[in-house]
Amino acid sequence: MNMIKTAALGTVMAVLTGTTAMAGGHACAITEGRLSIVGNEFPAIQSVAALAQECASGVENDSNLTADHQKINVAGMTGNPAEYTSAIIANSSIVALMNEDVIRPLDDLVAMYGADIPAHQLITIDGKVMAVAFMANAQHLVYRKDVLEQIGMDVPTSYEDVLAAAEKIRAMGIMENPVGGAYAAGWNLAEEFVNMYLGTGGEFFEAGTAKVSINNAQGVEALEMMKALTAYMNPDYLTHDSNATSAEWEAGNVALMNMWGSRTGVLMDDEGAAEVVYSNTMAGGPLTVGDSGAAASTLWWDGWTVAKNISDEDAAATFQALAHATSPALLNDETMSQAVWLMDGFDAQPVNEGVLATVAAGAAPYPMLPYIGLLHSALGDNLAEFLKGEESAEQALMDIEAAYTTAATEKGFL
Amino acid sequence: MSVATKRPASVLLFTNAFLIFWLILAAFPFVWTLWGSFKVEGDFFSKADWANAIFGKLTVAETGGNFTGDGYYGAWVQEEFWRAAINTFIVCFLVVTISLTCGTLGGYALSRSTHRYAFWFLFFALIFRAIPPITLVSGYLLPFYEWNLWGHLSTTIIVLVAINQPFTLWMLHSFFKNIPKDLDESAMVDGCNRFQAFRHVIIPVMWPGVITTGLFSFLLAYNDFAVTTMLLSKENQTMVPKLASFLGTTQTKGNVMFAVAAVVSITAPLFVMIMFFQRQIVSGLTAGAVKG
Amino acid sequence: MKHTTFAWFVLPSALLMLLFIALPIGSIVTQSLYSAHEQVLVTVENCGPFGCTQSTTVDQEATQALKAAEPLGKFAGLDIYKDRNHLAFAEVHEAWITSDGLPDFGAALMNLPFYDAMAFTLTYTFIVTPLTILLGFLIAVGVNAVATALKGPTIFLTLLPFIVTPLVGSLIIFWMVDARGILGAGLQWLADDPTLSLKASTGLMWAMLMVYGVWHSAPFAFVVFYAGLQTVNQDSLEAAMIDGANRFQRIIYVVIPHLYPLVTFVALIQLMDNFRVFEPIVSFTAQAHARSLSYAIFNDLGGETRLLSSAAATSMLTVVGVAILLSPVLVRTYRNFDKG
């Protein structure tokens, strides 16, 4: 049913966007300057970079889209003139560029060339536009409709519901490990804690300072909930990143999981899974934990920046090319399902419902703090011991605080 | 074969059984990969049942046949893996040539000098090798971008040569130690200078050691990931970083099979090469290649 | 050899190593002695697609002034080496005083990242190195006995673990040892335990990393030993046989002493490489169970905020560790050096 609806939508979209793309084509004629993009390599960013390069085809243009982009973007933008005129980043990684002072405020360029960019796409920090966002992402519940029907339960809205449903699925012998999650030690596991801790209503830092404060009742509550969930996960959960978790899902071993909105598309298509799995895969909203009522999820955006150490012509060329590449001109039936695009003219697909529900539930954006990356690393390194049952929640939180404090001292934040 | 190497049947049986066991252990993952590279991702990385990788249940369902060449088509045609193959060829050829040229000169001098500084030279070369390559590479980034050296094949070639120079020097030094000193010294008595003695007397007898060292230099350059992934731009990528880009952070469906097909493609030329040079390699090793 | 001749011969190598290794090491040492400037923080309002929030950011203008005054950063001396994420002197001292009994002290020590990484790194090094040498030797003896026509293919197959890109090699093996993979399922069948999973327990994960380590580097030892076996003096072997030595004795008294210098060479390289073990940890996503010094560096450099000084300090500690590990071999080389 859903497939037919999507297909019908797709045809309508193709007709519509065919005209938009033609209209957008005129807006873009760059004759001087230079464009060189560095960024991550997933399909949505590939599409943006390709359109920007097409727009700048009359001048020198290049793109380096790689999984290692965070390791090279600061070095590549530090020189004068910078190798890269633009870095595509997310709300977690823009702070590294701002800390090193390698990106420029865009206010003058927005005034000159960016009249069409809607205000909600502009990322302003202290009143200055520093980036232009083009897509959103978030984690939310993904569930198997058939399994929930089988156990006769509603779609869970809280982690407590998830635990109850998981217990029932296991008791009825439908699945041995019905819960999934990207709990691989390191970045993924830390992200799950960030979600869960925000869901308990916790605050990471003492207001206005870089002093960490997670060793509290909310911290313990978040950890206890994570541990309770792992009891229903595949015993290898500490090695499962989002790729491996998706593979578990497609194999039909999992019925409930907290997953990135950007990944639900491949779970719902007919490749790599049995019919009963993909046709019953549904995106739910964000989950809550305890009685705080806050969504245990974070909102993410991806956007582009312009380098500081480049000439004005290069900055203008880069801005125009990328502004065009993240305007409605980008949207066609191929790119439409690649992401939750922020530009006007985006039509939500069924796979995007989860992210939109998370935004609607008022989940907090991932904190854009200069020192959050250090805390994220410290979390990723120290949570596994608690989940393995080798130390207490308090001890794990104490270790995280100590590891963070050492790193933040070295970086001059404390 | 001399008397001493003749073996009684029981020993022969045991060594052969052990060797066959090892060969299975060594080759099994590769054979598995070769077979799986003609299946779809859902089969090759099946979480449901490993037997799918053999019988290809989803391959039949999704493509209609028992085997599919999609991985190879995607890697070579769609993603232009051949460009990376050409780059790899250039990098390997130059790395091996430059490494061996610098290494034989240096290794020879180190083996003939009895001064203490020669030991310290080797000592520091060894300490240099202890630095984890990721630290070195992240240190290169800033100056390379600043001086516009980043992204070029030539930069990567020089860096690979330099990073592998300690290993090359140690290996060739040990080897030259094994060539009697009388050879070049008598040439020098006959009126050659040091370089002439090296050219006319040492070069003709050094090939076995050079071939073995060259084999390692080649494999290091061929397989390097740490340096090539960080220092090469997209169009100059060699095969290994190109292959890594098929995997990426978010594995796009199908692309993983490009990587698997690429692994088989990377290994195939090595097979041809070893078959082709087998006589040289075996005889290179036979003539007394390395000596501590 | 004359000093000037020597200098000309080593010039190309020396120049390359100076430029691309010695200079970076110099900057790494410097980096490890400095920490970042004090960052001036201000509270600002951030707005984006999800609304506006109060947040903290670095005041670039104020920080610029500090940066201009001291371009290298704040001199920290050995503070970074001593902090909790490295040698953790203060924490070790405190654990020594407060812990009751050695096991308790050990547990406290293992809770510190550096010592935790050290424990795995050393175990890995001292188990994998001898096993690699042994396996490499046995394969070399085996291949040596193969008929000449089969030598080429045998050598190729033996080299496979060494030449298949570790990046994908370990990815495939990682899948094979999964509880649902062919090797994982095989192990469950062998152990008669359907819940056995290599990836779920720390001990099994360590074992798997080590088996992979031996498998991957045995071909290297093989190539070197195989070369050595070709030069074993046939006369001494025959003499030993006439003296009534059996096969085993001939290997022990003739072949092994002949190969001894090669064992030193392989041990040297393998100790160093194993001490820097890194790739399998990442490919097997084993960081929950095993962390090495090189992994710690990777982690420092790969985070969203890069810890350059911390990575530099860990790199220097790795170099010191390697130097200590290799010192017996180096001392021997030093003593033998004059003998030519």
Q: Give the strand pairing for A34-39 and A86-90.
A: parallel
Indicate yes or no: CB of A388 within 8 angstroms of CB of C305: no
**Nearest Cβ partner for B113 among C1, C169, C247:** C1
Tell me, what's the pLDDT at B7?
A: 62
pLDDT band at A2 (very low <50, low <70, confident <90, very high): very low
* pLDDT one-digit tens code per residue, B30-71: 888 899 889 888 788 777 778 888 888 878 887 888 888 888
State the DSSP code for C59: -
Q: Do B30 and C160 touch (CB under 8 A)?
A: yes
B190 has pLDDT over 80: yes
Encode pLDDT of A111-147 as tens digits: 999 999 999 999 999 999 999 999 999 999 999 999 9
Report CB contact under 8 Å: A239, C199. Answer: yes
Helix (H, G, I), strand (E, B) or coil at B111: helix
The set of residues, in sequence order, having a beta carbon less than 8 Å from that of A74 and lying 6+ positions away, is A96, A97, A100, A102, C306
Q: Is the pLDDT of residue C339 over 70?
A: no
Q: Is A186 on the interface with B (CB under 8 A)?
A: no
Q: B199 touching C, CB under 8 A? A: no
**How many angstroms separate the CA of residue A178 from the nearest CA in chain B?**
14
Nearest to A277 by CA among A172, A176, A170, A142: A142
Q: How confident is the model at residue B283 (pLDDT cuts 50, 70, 90)?
A: low
Asked if A210 and A408 count as a contact pair (C-beta separation under 8 A), the reply is yes
Chain B CB contacts of C149 below 8 Å: none
pLDDT attached to residue A3: 38
Please report the residues numbered 335 through 354 in chain A whose beta carbons come closer than 8 angstroms to any beta carbon of chain B.
none
Q: Which residues of C touch A99 (CB under 8 A)?
A: 39, 58, 305
pLDDT, tens digit (0-9, with 9 covering 90-100), for B241-263: 998 888 766 666 667 888 889 88
Whether the per-residue pLDDT at C291 is higher than 50: the answer is yes
Q: Which residues contact C285 (CB under 8 A, 6 or more apart)?
A: A184, A185, A186, A238, A239, A240, A241, A244, C174
Query: Of the candidates A40, A62, A82, which has its C-beta nearest B249's C-beta?
Result: A40
* Contact list, C50 vs chain A (CB under 8 Å): 136, 299, 301, 359, 365
Chain C neighbours, 3+ Cβ pairs < 8 A: A, B
Q: Name the residue of chain C whose CA is nearest to A340's CA.
A: C49
- Name the amino acid, one letter, at B26: A
Listed range (A12-16, A24-28, C79-83, C169-173) with the worst mean pLDDT: A12-16
**Which residues partner with C46 through β-bridges?**
A125, C53
Interface test with A, best of B57, B145, B257 (most A CBs within 10 A): B145
For residue C251, give every residue at least 6 positions away whose Cβ sits within 8 Å of its Cβ, in sequence order, or none.
C141
Which of B114-128, B145-159, C131-145, C158-172 comes out lowest in average pLDDT?
C158-172
Mutate which of B1, B134, B146 to test chain C, going by most C C-beta atoms within 10 A?
Answer: B134
Please tell me the predicted confidence (pLDDT) of residue B179.
82
Query: Are C200 and A186 a contacting pair at CB < 8 A?
Result: no
Higher pLDDT, C332 or C81: C81
Quote the Cα angle for A400-A401-A402, to 5°: 90
pLDDT of residue B282: 61
Alpha helices (runs of H) in A232-371, residue ranges in sequence order = 242-250, 261-268, 275-278, 312-325, 353-360
Average pLDDT, chain C: 89
Q: Which of B40, B41, B47, B142 to mutate to test the interface with A (most CBs of A within 10 A)?
A: B47
How close, in Å, is residue B60 to chain C by CA atoms? 20
Residue C155's pLDDT is what? Answer: 84
Count other C-beta atoms under 10 Å from residue C58's C-beta: 21
> Between chains, do A99 and C35 touch, taking CB under 8 Å as contact?
no
Question: Which structure tokens are listed for A352?
Answer: 């995007």
The interface pTM score, or ipTM, of the predicted complex is: 0.91
Closest residue on chain C to B2 (Cα) = C234
Number of H-type helices and E-type strands within chain B: 16, 0
The closest of A66, A65, A47, A83 to A333, measured between CA atoms, is A47
B187 neighbors B198 (Cβ within 8 angstroms): no
**pLDDT for the residue numbered A402:** 96
How far is the alpha carbon of B41 from chain A, nearest alpha carbon, in Å? 7
What's the mean pLDDT in A311-334? 94
Is B53 touching C (CB cutoff 8 A)?
yes
Average pLDDT over residues A178-184: 95
Which of B40, B41, B233 faces A64 most closely, judged by CB atoms? Answer: B233
Q: How far is B67 from chain C (nearest CA, A)?
A: 19
- Closest-CA residue of A relative to C313 is A410
Q: Are A113 and A319 in contact (CB under 8 A)?
A: yes
> Taking residues B270-292, what's their average pLDDT?
62
Q: In 3D, which of A115, A79, A69, A7 has the Cα closest to residue A308?
A: A79
Percent of chain A with pLDDT over 70: 93
Contact A20, A328 (CB under 8 A): yes
Q: What is the pLDDT of residue A27?
A: 60
Closest-CA residue to B137 (of A309, C297, C74, A77): C297
Which residues in chain C touch residue A407, judged by CB atoms under 8 angstroms apart? 85, 307, 310
Residue A139 φ then ψ, to 5°: -95, 145
Closest CA relative to residue A300, chosen from A126, A121, A139: A139
Model confidence at C152: pLDDT above 80: no
Question: C25 — alpha (psi -120 to 50), left (phi > 0) or beta?
Answer: alpha
Set of chain B residues whose Cβ sits within 8 Å of the Cβ of C141: 15
Specify the pLDDT at position C198: 87
- B2 pLDDT more than 70: no
Whole-number pLDDT of residue B279: 67
**Percent of chain B scored above 70 by pLDDT?**
90
Instruction: Give A75's contacts in chain B (Cβ within 8 Å).
Output: 141-142, 145
- The pLDDT of residue A15 is above 60: no
**Structure confidence at residue C332 (pLDDT):** 82
Contact by Cβ (8 Å): A139, A260 = yes
Whether residues A96 and C83 touch (CB distance < 8 A) is answered with no
pLDDT at A37 over 80: yes
- Calculate mean pLDDT across residues A359-386: 94
Contact list in A for residue C188 (CB cut-off 8 A) is none
In this structure, which amino acid lies at residue B56?
A: G
How far away is chain A from the Cα of B98, in angstroms, using its nearest Cα? 28
